[in-house]
Amino acid sequence: MITHPFKIFEPYRDVLDVRMLTRSDDVASDEETQRALGTTNIVVLDQVHGNRCVVVRESSHRIEKADVVATDQTGLTLTIRFADCQNFIVFDPKKKILCLIHAGWRGVQCEVLAQAFLCMQSEWGVHPQDVCVGAGPSLCRTCAEFTDPVTEAPELSAYARGRCIDLNRAADDQLFALGVLRNHFERIGDCTLCSPDLYWTYRAGKDEVVKKGKRNCLAATLL
């Protein structure tokens, strides 16, 4: 387990706990995730590669079909599972609002990041310029390969180079266009596919256990 993986959240360690489960934690089921994190007060989404955001104030286990989860409740652990998809944590230190986002290429294409901020603004009046954002490990620009990027992901074709799409840059551009400040943003540079010894990766095609549930997990709790 990696505790406090983002430097950007270091000033808020007394009010925000961030952890990341990786390959070494070897979790697949929700029960294993709970044991690894040491809590049953946890939210697990039924992630569907869309842009739906849910606001939660109590624990739930794969009840909500969504890829964004947000809360204002202390002691409630939010989780996002990922193998190669982008994963984000958004924290408003003034309003004490926490949001986790799962963003595969389909999510980036359907503007899941914008929907997350619309949800937070509607519920709590959160503004992009007031938050800190951390992006976890995901596919790098040379590993996000498609059969035909222009036809498969037309909205992201401007980020295509050959058969690959720079999904990280596409997401970063969306965040900055929304108003997130560059000095309030941190991306962990690790690529899941380039580092299969550290992270579970679906695209490697070698780990059948990934298809059966092994995942990395980003978890965060307001304290």
For 122-144, what is the HEC assignment? HHHCCCHHHCEEEECCECCCCCC
Helix (H, G, I), strand (E, B) or coil at 164: strand
* The 16-21 sheet, strands edge to edge: 2-3, 16-21, 216-222, 77-82, 42-46, 60-65
- pLDDT value for 207: 56
77 close to 43: Cβ distance less than 8 angstroms = yes
Cα distances from 55 to residues 71, 100, 117, 159, 214, in angstroms, run 6, 11, 12, 31, 26
List, for the chain, all residue ranges whose pLDDT scores fall below the cut of 70.
Answer: 204-209, 211
- pLDDT value for 202: 84
Enumerate the domain spans of the chain: 2-222
- pLDDT value for 185: 98
Rounded to whole angstroms, how far apart are CA atoms 130 and 78? 21
Assign domain 2-222 to a CATH class: alpha beta
Q: What DSSP element (H or E) covers 194? A: none
Closest CA to 85 of 137, 26, 123: 137
Q: Which two tokens stand for residue 19?
A: 């952890």
Helix (H, G, I), strand (E, B) or coil at 2: strand
- pLDDT value for 54: 98
Rounded to whole angstroms, how far apart are CA atoms 129 and 151? 34
Q: Which two tokens stand for residue 14?
A: 């007394």
